[in-house]
Each structure stands twice: as C-alpha cells, then as structure tokens.
Structure 1
Amino acid sequence: MSSAEPTTDRVTRTHVLTPAEAADVLTLARAAGDADGADPFDEHTLLRLRDPEAPAVHLTARGPDGTLTGYAHLDTTDPGAGVGVELAVRPGHRRQGTGRALARGVLATASGPLRAWAHGDHPSAAALAVDLGFARARVLWQLRRPLTAPLPEPRLPDGVALRAFVPGADDAAWLALNARAFASHPEQGRWTEVDLRVRLGEPWFDPAGFLLAEESATGRLLGFHWTKVHERPGSARIGEVYVLGVDPAAHGGGLGRALTAAGLAYLRDRRGLDRAMLYVDESNTAAVALYERLGFARWSAHVNYRLG
C-alpha cells in the first residue's frame, strides 16, 4: 500500500449511516473477510453498524461509479481511552491508495489517542501502520481445536453446580461477576447492561449454551462459559468460547478448566459441531497455557496498533 498511487475515490464522513449504506458496508466486510481469511470488523463494530444511535464516525470511500471501495469506523464511545479504528478496503480495489486515503481521513477526524485493529495481521495493514507512525501494542490470538478429539471431563470443585443463564433474572449478577473477572481487561470488563442486552437479542444467542457455575449453598455466581455458534452461508459452522470468566476469589480450584470442558462438550454434543475457536490476549500467559493444555493451537493473530 505504501507505493500506491493517489486514489481517485471520494472519501466522505458522516455520523449516521442509512440502512442502505450499512448494508453496503456489511457486503464489503464479507468480501474482505472471504479474501483475507479474517473478518475486518469485530463484533462490537458490527453491532454498532446496525444501531443508528451509537456514537461513531463513519468514513466511506466510493469510486467514480459510486461503488463502495473502502470503509473506516471510528468508535468514539470512550475518547479518554482512545478512539477505536477499524478499516477495510474492498478486494479488487486495493493497492490503489484507498486505504491510505481512509487512514488520512481518520487522522484528520480524530483527536487524542487512536487504537486501530488489524484483523488477521495483514502485511499491508502493518506496512500502513508503520508508515503513519502507529506502534504495535497488543496481539490477540485466535486459537482452534477439533471437537472430534477427546475432551476432558468437566470436574467441578466440590459445592459448585452448573446451570443455564436465565435472561432477566441473571443479568445484574452476571454483569457484576464479569466486571470482577475482567477488571483489567480493556474491553470486556466495561460491559454495561446495554452491551449485554444487545447480545441477548442477537439471533445466535442460546441461553442453554450460556453456562453459569454457582455455589450450591448460596447461589453465588463463581464463573461462566458463554458459548456461541458461527453460522455463515458457504462456510462450515464453528463454535466459540465466546466469554469465559472466573471470579478472582475462585481462582486456583480448576473451575476455569471445568467450565471450558463443559462448554466444549455442549458445542459438540448438543450443537453437533466438530471444531471450536476462541480469542485470547498473547500477554495472558495463564489463559494461553490453559487453552493449550486443552488442545487448542494458534490459528491467526489480530494486532492492535496505537498512536498517541
């Protein structure tokens, strides 16, 4: 991308996308994901694309014929933590300066620190980030394992039982547990009731696959394994360890391993899946070691770049 000629595409900025414009962006995202083997936008961005009231800035690049050739999403929810950026260029329109034009639009629009994700660690994204002065700050690994291989038995600690999440009844207790379990996590630990409610309303949500570990004597929540199934036309179904958390007070008793095994068994036995995936920070060595012991191996990397 660094050697591309200046683009003739027109870059525009808006705070609200029309339904037709949002559909155009989703089509572009699918094309980019199919070409790169990694979706260019994370779940948070995709959910916000469907919510016209979500605070965001949208940069679109269109060719002379009106074709959407590129898109950049600026998440302005928490300016103090930095503006989140995700960017994609349509396959067939790459190496023509569109990505650089969008990136310059981002720099001209945003103030304060920037946090930009390069999903799949694409070489062109890395080159552009270096050219613009961004520094590689965080790596998120995607790990995978076959569910056809043997799974460990989910051995729960004494006095702990598993049950399914009950929407409406468990919301507040789960949010409090999630905040404790991910107190130092830059995204997950800040989930609000709105964040939870949006996901509970998604077509993929399955309460039976949202496992809660509770103390039998008191009903206190100690941990959870929220599973997810990805179903995309033309692609094989795959399960995900969507969110796995354990109360810090319950660490060291094997609960995380038991919850992981129970969720994987659910995906295999109840959902009929033959493979599973998860995301984990490279720096979270304890979690990486746990997942590797459970048969997961590295599949791809997603890199966060910082500026300012």
Structure 2
Amino acid sequence: MNVLPRAEGRSLELALELVEAAARADGVRPLSEEAELRLRHGGPDGGRDVLFGHEGRAAAYARLDRDGDGGWQAEFVVHPQLRRRGLGRAMAEKVEELAGDGPLAVWAHGELPGSAELGTARGWTRARTLLQMRMPLAGPGPHADPELPADVVVRPFRPGVDEEAWLAVNAAAFAHHPEQGGMTRRDLELREAEEWFDPAGFLLAWRLADDGTETLLGSHWTKVHPAGEVADEPVGEVYVLGVAPAAQGLRLGRALTDLGLAHLRSRGLAEVLLYVEEDNTAAVALYERSGFSRYAVDVQWHRPARRS
C-alpha cells in the first residue's frame, strides 16, 4: 500500500481508472468533486493519496486531508471486482492509522451496501447525511424574467473580474458550511478550468448604486453533468446557490433559482439535481414543494479523537 504526498504519473492513471470503474459499476461517483480535484491537481499541504495495487491495477484508493479543525477527512473506494476481500477494512485501518489520534470523518457516497456495515464494525457513527434531490425539467418551467428590486441586476460571471467578490459573498453565505464556506481562490480557479465550466450559467445578482459602485448580493452557479456521469443523459445541477446575509429578505434566492433553472432548461436538459443536508429540514421541505424528490444519500461517518 503506497502512501503518497500526491499521486502522479502511473499512480494517478491507476487511481483515475479505479474511480471511473467504480462510478460505472455503482451508478454514483465514489469520490466527492473536491476529492477528485485534489487527486488530479494536488491538494493542501499534508494531504495524502493512498493507493493499493493488485495485478497491474488499482485495487483500492483513498484521499486523506486535514479538515481545518485539527482533524482529518477521508474518502476511499475499492475496485468493484475486488470487493468482499478485506480491502475496504484494510483501507479503513490505513486511514485511521494516518489520522493518528485526531478525529476522523469518512464520506460514503451513495450509501452502498457494505459502507454502513464497515463503518459500524469499526465503531464509527453517522455524523452527517447529504441528500441528492432531483426534479424533472420537462413541462412548464420557472419564469425566465422574475421580479427583482429596481436597483438589482443579474448578469453572468466574468472570469478574471468577479472572483474576489464572489468568494467573499460565498464565505458569508456559507459560514456555517464546513466545505462550501471555505472555498479559496485556487478552488474556484480549478473549477473555472474544468470542461463543464460555463460562465453563462453562473448568475450573479448585483446592487447598483447611484454613484456607479456595485455590490454583489448573491449568485446561482449552475453546472451540467455530461451524459454517463450521473445519468445516461446530461443532467443539470443547482451547484451553488447563495445570498449574502445582508441581502436576506429581498427574495433573491427564489429569483436566482428561477433564473438558473430557466438557463438549464434552455440547454435542453430534462432533469436537474441538487445537494442539501438532511437535517436542514426547512430547505428540504422547500425543495420538495418546488418539485424535487429524494434520489440518493451520502453519509459522513465519524471516529472521535482518541484519548491519550
């Protein structure tokens, strides 16, 4: 089992081949978008790529990173043809070893059979549940020109211009969110370099002052998953929808949602997905009233810090 500061060359190829094999077999990506980006481009100092080879291919892979609170966060996957051979247990033991005495959080995407069994057997507890919800886009859709305050205009993201303003509002809007609220300039630019990035689907709401200054109030960043990634056909996503705390009460969230969904529908997409924390009952209820239904579940398992 190789523990690498960063997977490169053949090790990177093998890990990516494993990720794709698991996605095809399971119908769900085995790693989060952030973990995949860190696998392909490297992550913050202290992170690790863990690779277990078998007969010229990757049998298991894990990504391990500091979580910012003194603990560790991990995700791992076992090759579909090599499961039920103890590799999942071996990888779990390895990430526990690398995390030392610190707390450890492990994401299981899709809540596949075996993930709960493994987590429970190791004494881990369910800490967070992330719902994937989906809604058809066929039929009558949201209004493409919703009512906005007179001094607010919505326009597409401008690469190279709007990054800092968006990051500031994103951090404020998601101050309570352990992943989204901590997005950095590098995180944003990595996503801008991805093939799926389309500034036309990244909508920003600005307040225009009489003196010509502009203040960003919120945004709806949409994404399109290509055919074969999350479904046989392309699927849209409510990727990041956030409103600055100071702009709450202006109904911008509803307007930006409608504009984003209208954009996705204009792309000819038949379905849209989003992710929401299960315990955010108000948001879940709102999405269900809007036509979304529960589709899949990601679970974060937690091992507390060990006492010395």
TM-score (ref. length: structure 2): 0.91
Residue identity matched to 1:224: S
- Evaluate the alpha carbon distance shift between residue 43 and residue 134 of structure 1 in structure 2; reply closer, same or farther with a 3 A threshold: same
Q: Structure 2 CA distance, aligned partners of 1:53 and 1:211? A: 28
Q: Deviations over 1:124-176 (max 9, x none)?
A: 01110111111101010001011103223252332222111111211111111
Residue identity matched to 2:79: R
Q: Structure 1 CA distance, aligned partners of 2:43 and 2:244? A: 33
Residue identity matched to 1:57: R
- How does 1:182-221 map onto structure 2 within 5 Å? 182-217=174-209, 218-221=213-216
Does 1:173 pair with 2:165? yes
Conserved in 2, the CA contact under 8 Å of 1:85 and 1:114?
yes
Unaligned runs of 5+ in 2: none
Aligned position for 2:242:
245
Q: Structure 1 CA distance, aligned partners of 2:280 and 2:249? A: 16
- How does 1:1-308 map onto structure 2 within 5 Å? 11-52=1-42, 54-55=44-45, 56-63=47-54, 65-76=55-66, 78=68, 80-111=69-100, 112-153=102-143, 155-159=146-150, 160-217=152-209, 218-233=213-228, 235-269=232-266, 271-308=267-304
- Evaluate the alpha carbon distance shift between residue 131 and residue 43 of structure 1 in structure 2; reply closer, same or farther with a 3 A threshold: same
Q: Deviations over 1:44-100 (max 9, x none)?
A: 01111112464321222222x23211111111363x352111010111110010111
CA shift at 1:118, angstroms?
A: 0.5
Q: Structure 1 CA distance, aligned partners of 2:289 and 2:272? A: 15
Aligned length, in residue pairs: 295
- Evaluate the alpha carbon distance shift between residue 256 and residue 61 of structure 1 in structure 2; reply closer, same or farther with a 3 A threshold: same
Residue identity matched to 1:141: L
- Evaluate the alpha carbon distance shift between residue 113 and residue 77 of structure 1 in structure 2; reply closer, same or farther with a 3 A threshold: closer
SS at the partner of 1:286? Answer: helix
Conserved in 2, the CA contact under 8 Å of 1:257 and 1:290?
no
TM-score (ref. length: structure 1): 0.91
Unaligned runs of 5+ in 1: 1-10
Conserved in 2, the CA contact under 8 Å of 1:156 and 1:254?
no
Q: Deviations over 1:188-238 (max 9, x none)?
A: 111111111111111111111100111233521111000111114583111
SS at the partner of 1:32? Answer: helix
Residue identity matched to 1:155: P
Q: Structure 2 CA distance, aligned partners of 1:67 and 1:243? A: 35
- Evaluate the alpha carbon distance shift between residue 254 and residue 290 of structure 1 in structure 2; reply closer, same or farther with a 3 A threshold: farther
Q: Structure 2 CA distance, aligned partners of 1:220 and 1:53? A: 31
Residue identity matched to 1:118: A
CA shift at 1:246, angstroms?
A: 0.8
Aligned position for 1:8:
none
- Evaluate the alpha carbon distance shift between residue 81 and residue 264 of structure 1 in structure 2; reply closer, same or farther with a 3 A threshold: farther
SS at the partner of 1:220? Answer: strand
